[in-house]
Amino acid sequence: MIYSILQLINFILTYIGISYSQYLPPYGALFQRLIVDTIGALLIFIAASLTIVVVIYIFRKWMADLQQRIGPNRVGPYGTLQLIADALKMFGKEDIIPDNVDPILFRFAPYLVFIPLIMSYLLIPYGTIYHWAIIFTNVNVTLLLIIAFSAIPPIGEIIAGFASNNKFSLIGALRAAAQDLSYEIPMMISLIGVIMLTGSLNLNTISQYQWHYIPIAILEPIGFLVFFVAVLSKMAVVPFDLPESESELVSGFNVEYSGLRFGIFYLGVFGSIFFGSLFISTVYLGGGSDLPFLPGFGYIWLLIKAFIFTFLFLTIWVSLPRIRVDKYMNFGWKYLLPLSLINLLWTMVLLLFIHGVL
């Protein structure tokens, strides 16, 4: 039997005795549903934050390893409690708001960047452990929802850069707008190839398809590469970290943010790194689905694939220089876009071949 997490929470609540579905139907069932969904969302919020903390720890230790030094190793055994010390320090800082900023937009912008990211963690199918499927949403359009949620953080960055009364952050905000516009289109066109092959927008179906046949990365290598570069650009790491170029614009759009507000931007960067690796391993490598001869371990395969991509992204961050703005847009419009259109043609040929016409 396959249970989902929401069914599990429902089961626990009934077992304890808190169950409203028999009172005053249909309002009781709706109320029950509301409680179950809220508990599920809180669980994912805590789990996502803990995951981001683990990713930051891995980043600091891996970067130190590549540079022949030791990372954090004083706070806690092998430095594991370092991030908690940093978070406590950020909580205790004074909240400095500069003079002539726009009062509502300045305070509101960090949440616009962070909350859609956490909401996107709800939509990914995490695979199975024994008979239990860790799935939070099962609507038919999760891929579309993820694309919609990933379009909101650049708006947050532009608002943050514009509302701080500072010329450096204004330049950073303009660069964020240029970056968002140029690389979303190749990403979506390569995703169209995936949708045409699998025939649905549901991430669950896409990962199950790859269990039955072969991973889509092998069927569509060009699309995989284009999607890889586009996701790398969405995460704002070097070589594509234009809105936040640290050595040129002194932190770009988040110059005027300090303390906990800066902490939220910082968590957003690492959250999007891990989310990007989860996304690419679900859509192109079949993350979360079991191997046919070894059922029951889907979650572990997803974690392995996501961590391999995370290490790859972090290595790219540490070793490459930054691209200039106009060369960046050049690359996006003149190279990535035609490549993604060629990928679309290739997918059409593949489909005709699969359905036996060729």
Partner 1 sequence: MVKGILKGMFVVLKHSRRKPVTVEYPEKEIPWHTKRFRGRVILNLDTCIGCSLCSQICPNESDHMVYFDYDNGKNKRKIYPAVNIGTCTYCGLCQAICPTGSIRLSNDMTLASFEKDFDYLPDRLSRTEEELKHHD
Partner 2 sequence: MEEKILEVNFGPQHPSTHGVLRLKVKLNGETVLSAEPIIGYLHRNAEKLSEFNYYASNLIFMDRLDYVGNHNMELGYVLAVEKLAGIDVPERAIWLRMLFAELNRIASHLVWAGTMGLDLGMITPFFYAFRERERILQLFEMVSGARLTYNYISIGGVYNDLPNEFDEKFKEFVNDFPARLNELKSLFEKNEIFIQRMKGIGILPPEVAKSYSITGPVLRASGVNYDIRKISPYLYYDKVDFEIPISHGMDNYARFEVRFKEMEQSLKIAKQVYEKLPPGEYQNSLYKKSGLINIKGAGESYVRTESPRGEFGVYVVGDGSKKPYRVRIRSPAFHNLSAVNEMVKGLKIADLIATLSTLDPVFGEVDR
Minimum distance, C-beta of residue 248 to partner 2, in the bound complex (Å): 5
72 or 193: whose CB is closer to partner 1?
72
Please, what sign has the CA dihedral across residues 149, 335, 330, 250? positive
100 touches partner 1 by CB under 8 A: no
Q: Which of 181, 250, 304, 354: binder of partner 2 (CB under 8 A)?
A: 250
Distance, in Å, from the CA atom of 135 to the CA atom of 242, rounded to the nearest integer, reads 35
Distance, in Å, from the CA atom of 135 to the CA atom of 167, rounded to the nearest integer, reads 45
Q: What x-and-dash track marks residues 305-324 binding partner 2 by CB under 8 A?
A: -------------xxxxxxx
Q: Which of 325, 341, 350, 351: binder of partner 2 (CB under 8 A)?
A: 325
Q: CB of 276 within 8 A of CB of 231?
A: yes
Side-chain half-sphere CA neighbours of 144 within 13 A:
7
Which residues within the stretch 24-63 sit at the binding site for partner 2 (CB under 8 A)?
63
Q: Which of 32, 142, 179, 245: binder of partner 2 (CB under 8 A)?
A: 245
Which residues within the stretch 270-289 sit at the binding site for partner 1 (CB under 8 A)?
none
323 or 351: whose CB is closer to partner 2?
323
Minimum distance, C-beta of residue 249 to partner 2, in the bound complex (Å): 8
DSSP β-ladder status, 132-133 and 128-129: antiparallel
Q: Which of 157, 180, 184, 241: binder of partner 2 (CB under 8 A)?
A: 241
Q: Which residue has the tokens 């230790």?
A: 61
Q: What x-and-dash track marks residues 54-73 binding partner 1 by CB under 8 A?
A: ----------xxxxxxx--x
250 or 342: whose CB is closer to partner 2?
250
Minimum distance, C-beta of residue 92 to partner 2, in the bound complex (Å): 25
**Binding partner selected for residue 65 from partner 1, partner 2, none, CB under the kind-specific 5 to 8 Å limit:** partner 1
Please, what sign has the CA dihedral across residues 208, 209, 211, 215? negative
Which residues within the stretch 134-173 sit at the binding site for partner 2 (CB under 8 A)?
167-168, 171
Q: What x-and-dash track marks residues 197-216 binding partner 2 by CB under 8 A?
A: --------------------
CA distances from 144 to 151, 152, 219, 271, 342 (A): 11, 13, 22, 20, 22
Kindly give, in sequence order, each residue whose CB lies less than 8 Å from that of residue 158, ignoring residues fewer than 6 positions away: 173, 176, 177, 253
Minimum distance, C-beta of residue 315 to partner 1, in the bound complex (Å): 6
206 or 273: whose CB is closer to partner 2?
273
Q: Which residue has the tokens 């039997």?
A: 1
Kindly give, in sequence order, each residue whose CB lies less than 8 Å from that of residue 327, ignoring residues fewer than 6 positions away: none
Distance, in Å, from the CA atom of 50 to the CA atom of 322, rounded to the nearest integer, reads 30
How many residues form the binding site for partner 2 (CB under 8 A)?
A: 27
Span between the terminal Cα atoms of the chain, in Å: 41
Which residues within the stretch 297-316 sit at the binding site for partner 1 (CB under 8 A)?
315-316
What's 133's DSSP letter? Answer: E
DSSP string, 57-116: HHHHHHHHHHTTS----SSSGGGTTHHHHHHHHHHTS-----TTS-HHHHHHHHHHHHHH
Q: Which of 115, 303, 318, 344: binder of partner 1 (CB under 8 A)?
A: 318
Q: Which of 12, 66, 151, 352: binder of partner 2 (CB under 8 A)?
A: 66
Instruction: Tell me how long the chain is.
Output: 358
**Binding partner selected for residue 44 from partner 1, partner 2, none, CB under the kind-specific 5 to 8 Å limit:** none
Site residues, partner 1 (CB under 8 A):
64-70, 73, 315-316, 318-320
Site residues, partner 2 (CB under 8 A):
63, 66-69, 167-168, 171, 238-239, 241, 245-250, 318-327
